[in-house]
Every structure is written in structure tokens, then in C-alpha cells.
Structure 1
């Protein structure tokens, strides 16, 4: 996602991560969220920032292991935007995973300004992908680095002041969004081609900002692009969008008549909603010349109204967040449907061929299947615990043993453990993650 002084957003050629979940999900309960509910509070109801980041790291670690068995990514590698880009390309079938390239990119030197800022003179080469993706047509964007001496140092001071201002004006929002910003790069103003700030789902984790003059410009960019980064993590770990989103009619903005696909429309609505709330915290602070803060509420309402008429095209967690931020009646975040008819005593189960899995600290498991184009699934806690009882070597486990282990692990009675285990096994069978052994 990019914010420029000229309209337009191109879709780059490299693939991005698309994950599908094996569960039929529904929203339960019936509650009305206040129209003044803050975005960070609603985000935390889906998953606190630390939980979301850990789940995303778990996903990338599993993905790397699918291509290079035995690979273990440190937090630094799992968070690095270029590492995530390279893994995404491999998952999309755009080439093999080059481990040497991952370690080279992770060696990029940064400076601490409240967020890591790319400082390495090699940044133009090491960050080639995000710089190319966000560049306007015919423009070669260049980052400021330590090689630019005092000019870079001055920009770094403005960035640091902007991060401090963000934390002072909206401390809870800053904690919520900055958790998803792994790196920031400052663009040389004479090469930016009108880009004010930018981020990309193809290279998640990095925020690019035009050479700032004012701390408030940095603070606003971190809200805007940090909201996108939050959405990128939500979209790959929770029930937000599926492949159907590519076929939905386009949304047309009233202010520029740009036409956006559903994913971009939801991301823009989410960012404008966060900006509108941030604008309230900025009372008395003069915005920058390219600020969207005065327009954020109106645009969020326009996009939100369109999304509400197309909410059937959204997955459960996206529908819930849409209604909650809009103050509309709605259910709770998604939960798993009951199921499992036909599963019971005498059944035995094993992992499907080529299936590997890892469990996040939250208890949710991410599962991958080795294939030319690997498939990746996120499981809920019940299914994650069930699959955790199946040996990696493909050995079978009896249904009774699964239920007994579930009862101990969940500290529930046998009937409840059996019901929850059957529901988990049914969804795992439906996606061929596990197999029934005759």
C-alpha cells in the first residue's frame, strides 16, 4: 500500500502469501460495540499484538522449513522484510528459497530511532524489492543511508522525534501498530517520485517514508503504514480474505476515481479508520502539508459503507472488525463450528503425506504440505493440540488416545474432550491434513 502525491497503485509481479484455513467458521454471540471503540482495543480482541507477531513468525518458520528442512529462523530473520519477501516468492512458485540471500539481507545495518531505520550504504541493493515495488512508473527510488552523512543524520533525528511524538500522542496505538513495523527506510526526496509513505503486502514489515521535514509527518506515516502492516499480519493468520476476494467487483473512490480490489479496499478502510482515531489525538498539532488526517474520517466512512454492502465477500474476522469499528451490531470474532459425525471408537489417525506443523505460543498451529506449490493452513487451538499428538513420522494414533490426551491437556471432562476432538479431526480430515487409518 502506498500513499503518493499522485494517484495510482500498481500490483507488482512477485507473488504474495495466500493462506487458507480448513475450518468452517461462524460468528457467535450478539453484541454492539461502541462507535468510539478504539482500533487497538478491537485488534486485541482478535489477537494481542505480541500473539499476532508470534503466530506470524511461526508461519514463516514453517514455510522456510518446507523448502529447506531443518532451517530455523531467528526472530531477526523471521521479522526481516526481505526474508519474508523471499519466502513469499518461493511459496508463490517464483523460484527456490535461497538461504544465502536471506542471511545477506539480514546483515543490512540499521540505526535505532525508536524503530530500526535502514542505514547501510548497501540498502539500495539489499532493499531492491520494496524500492522497486513502490516506485512510480519510470522512477528509481533511492534510500538515504549513512553514506549521505549529515543529511541522513538529520533525517534520523526527525524520525526519532516522530516516533516519540507518536508514542506521546497515542501510546496504546503506537504499541499496537509499531509491533508490526520491522524496519523503516527514508527515501531521498529528489528520487521519491511523489511517494509520501508506502508499504507493500509483497514485502511486509518495512515502511518507506519520503525524507521528512516534521515529526508529525513521521508519526502519521507510522499510523498509516503501521495499520497496513497490522492488516498484513491479520490477513495471513486470521479469517480475513480468501481467494474469492480477487473476483469481487472493484470499489471506486469519490476523491480520485481510483478503482481498488477488495483486499486494497479493506486495507485502505482500516488505515483511514486508524488515521481518523489518531487525528483526534492530534488536536492542536499542525499536520504536514500532505496530511490525510483532515480527510480520514470522511474517507473511512465512505469506504466502510461500501464494505458493509459487500461484507458477504469477507471472512468472519474481517466482518467482525468492520462492524466493530463502524459501531454496527455484530458477533464476536470467529470460532470453530461443531462437527465430527462418524468419528469415534476404533478410528486411528495419522498425518497426511508431506504434512509438517508448528505450534505458536497461543496454542494455534500452522500446518504446511510439501508440494511444488505448498499449501499452508492455520489451525485453532483445539486442532493444533490434536495434531500435536500425531507423530511427525506418520505413525497412527488411536481416537481414544487422542481424546484422553485432550481431556488432560484441556482439563475438561471426557464428553467435552470427545466433542472438541471430533470437531477438530473432522476439519483436519476435510483438508487432508490428517488421514484415517483403516
Structure 2
């Protein structure tokens, strides 16, 4: 596989700049929180907090009600600034229990290094700060691109980490855990690796990356450990190795440590990338585009949707279902939810968003009225655009004919 010429941060921005992704992610979490706690006012800072996002995600997955008291208590965990917020609170182990438990290797019980550890914590904080500075010096644009998705960092005590070098989890997005570091390069590498995962988590919930087909897709078996990974984990690993491979080219005389993945990142990215290219039919359009852009290889096309071109009777009247809730991001994209068990959440394209706006406030409109009020009537494909939008909204049970 030929080495790609496009930088990862440029490719990412072509899908959506980092701040756009962050804004849309907040819109989704704000909507989700409102489904469980109507009227709840959560600030952007609270919506960015990993434990808030974990609790909202747990509720979305059918894990019970949203515990706003826990969310606010977790947000009070004291952090120190090392270029990124680093957990410093001696009470952190209880309040960040979820990510510690999720990433723990079998038999290990990782514990955070905090201010209670005195000079040891201060020394680790200095290394972390040096790692953040090194990353920003070596690859400033990539650092901005990836660190925008990292809300918090936890340093694990070396004797309890169980060998975890660095870790993150889609179940607790925004938090990165690293083993007690020895050098700034260890920190910089960990932030590229886990920052790439955090970027992927935000892409996956706001763009067209994976759908239910991913759960049934063939698994990938890597050649270095023979571990088998489901499609989502495979794509996330490929994306992280691709970012690490590009970072390795910028490290100059910096010497990676014995646990570093930088020397093998390109080889592994290429191996996984070849497999993904041969299984691109299981990916959604944005994932295929990212795969093609970072590998320099064509990644297939979206299978043609069936039924969207069927004509629609112009006298049919539509209305939005009364329990539909929506949140518009600053970009203009709309995320919609319905309070089911678990709740259902959908991102709408611009056309479907426009149609839903027209059906707001309990209005019922027929196809002709929607076509007239959409502002598309003078366009040759207006009826087709409206038909596609209506069918998408009906398939998602957001609107219904009356």
C-alpha cells in the first residue's frame, strides 16, 4: 500500500473541523439529557465531562435513569492544568470508577495518581506537561485536531496499572488514561493514540460511519497477536495506527521507548487498511471516504438506496409525531430523538431538517404545501429531494402520514 500524502488532520477537517464535531457532539448529548431530564440545563463544560457523557450514554443504552446529581458531583473533581486537565483529586478513584474498571486488565485494579501522592504526582504532572508541549511543537496542527476531543487525563500508578500503557473507551468518551510516564515522548505518543480514538468516537456519533451491519460483519484477525476484533474496533485501530504512523515521521531524533508503537505503526496501519478496503461494503459513506483518503486507495461506493425514488401522492398530509424532540447544532445540522426504551436518536441532513422545521408546532402539511414552503419549488429535482426527505423521516418514525 502506498504511503498516503494527505495529513490526517486535513482529512479529518474535510469531514468536519474539530470544533464543528465538538459542537455537534454537545448538541447530541444536550438532546439526550433532555429526553431523560426535561428542562435540565447542562453547560458546554458539563456536556464535555467524560462522566457526564458516560452517564448519558448509559441511560441511552437502557441502563436506567440519568443521575444528574452524580454528573454534577463528578464535575467537581479537582484537576490540574498540564496543557490538558489532569485529574488531581484524591477522591477521583470513586468518581472516575467507570473508566478505571472498563480499561482494567484481568486481575488489575488501576488507581489514579493524585495530589495525595505528593512529589510523585508533581513529577508526573511535569512529564505530562512536557509531553503536551512536545506534541504541540512537533505537530501543532495535528495536536489541535486531536486534543480538541480529549477532555481529561488520568495518570495511573505504575504498580496498579496492570501494564496499561494508555487507554480510552467509547463508553467513557473524552477521558484518556496513561501509565505513570517516564518521558515526554511517551505522553505525546499516548495522546496521539488515544486522541485518535476520541476523534473517532465523535465522528462515529455525528457522521455516517457504522450502522447495525457492523455488529454482524466479519471480524479481523491481526498478524502480531492473532486477536480478533469486531469491525468498529478494527476501524478504530486502523485510524489510531494511521495517526501514529504520521506522527512517527515528525519525531526526528526523539527516541521511542521499549513499549512504543511508533516503529510498527505504519506496518500495522497498512495491514488493517488492506483488510478494511476489502470489507468496505460494511462501512457507511463517511467511514469509506476517510479510509480511502488516508490509504490513498479507492474504498468503494455506497450501495444504491431502494425505494427512495418511488413517487409520492401529492395529496398525502404529514405531521411530526408529538413525542419527537430535536436539537440544532451551531452548524445547522439537527439531531432528533424520541423517548423510547432505549431512546432513538437520528442525525438529519439539511433537507430532512428543513421538512421537520416546516412540520413544527403541530402543523400538518401535504406534499404540495411542503414543496411550496421548502423554497425548492423552482429547482428541477425539488420533488425528488422532498420525497427522499419524507421517506427518511417516516422510516425513522419521526413523521407520519395523516
Q: Fold conserved (TM > 0.5)?
A: yes
Q: Distance in 2 between matches of 1:156 and 1:187?
A: 12
**1:230 maps to which of 191, 199, 216:** 199
Q: Is this contact kept in 2: 1:252–1:259, CA < 8 A?
A: yes
Give the match for residue 3 of structure 1.
none
Task: Look up the SS of the partner of 1:241 in the other structure.
Answer: coil
Q: 1:402: how far off?
A: 3.4
Looking at structure 2, the residues matched to 305 and 332 of structure 1 have their Cα atoms a distance apart, in angstroms, of 16
- Is 1:424 aligned with 2:392? no
- Greater relative CO, 1 or 2 (CA 8 Å, sep 6+): 1
Alpha-carbon separation, structure 2, partners of 1:426 and 1:175 = 39
Q: CA deviation at 1:116?
A: 1.1
| Cross-structure match for 1:397 | 365
Distance in structure 2 (CA, Å) of the matches to 1:281 and 1:139: 35
Can you list the C-alpha shifts for 1:195-250, whole angstroms capped at 9, x where unaligned?
A: 00000011011000111111111100000000000111111111111122122222
**What pairs up with 1:347-426 in 2 under 5 angstroms?**
347-392=316-361, 394-407=362-375, 413=378, 415=380, 417-426=382-391
Cα 1:328–1:417 change in 2 (3 A) is same
For 1:117 and 1:336, how far apart are their aligned partners in 2?
Answer: 46
Cα deviation, residue 343, structure 1: 3.7
Q: 1:89 to 1:344 in 2, by over 3 A?
A: same
What is the aligned partner in structure 2 of residue 88 from structure 1? Answer: 57
| TM-score normalised by L of structure 1 | 0.86
Shift of 1:339: 4.0
Partner residue in 1 for 2:291: 322
Indicate conservation of the 8 Å contact 1:317/1:333, yes or no: no
Give the corresponding residue for 1:129. Answer: 98
SS in 1 for 2:165: strand
> Between Structure 1 and Structure 2, how many residues are aligned?
401
Q: Which residue of 2 aligns with 1:204?
A: 173
How far residue 69 of structure 1 moved from its aligned partner, in angstroms, is 1.1
Gapped regions of structure 1 (runs ≥ 5): 1-32
Q: What does residue range 296-311 of structure 1 map to in structure 2 within 5 Å?
A: 296-311=265-280
Partner of 1:119: 88
Structure-2-length-normalised TM-score: 0.94
Mapped partners of 1:172, 1:208: distance in 2: 23
Residue of structure 1 aligned with 2:282, choices 313, 326, 344: 313
- What are the equivalent positions in structure 2 for 1:336-355 lying under 5 Å apart? 339=308, 341-343=310-312, 345-355=314-324
Q: Is the 8 A contact 1:35 1:327 kept in 2?
A: yes
Which residue in the other structure is 1:270 paired with? Answer: 239
Q: 110, 122, 129: which is aligned to 1:160?
A: 129
Kindly tell me: are residues 312 and 414 of structure 1, through their superposed partners in 2, closer, same or farther at Cα, counting changes over 3 Å? closer
The answer to whether residue 16 in structure 2 is matched with residue 51 in structure 1 is: no
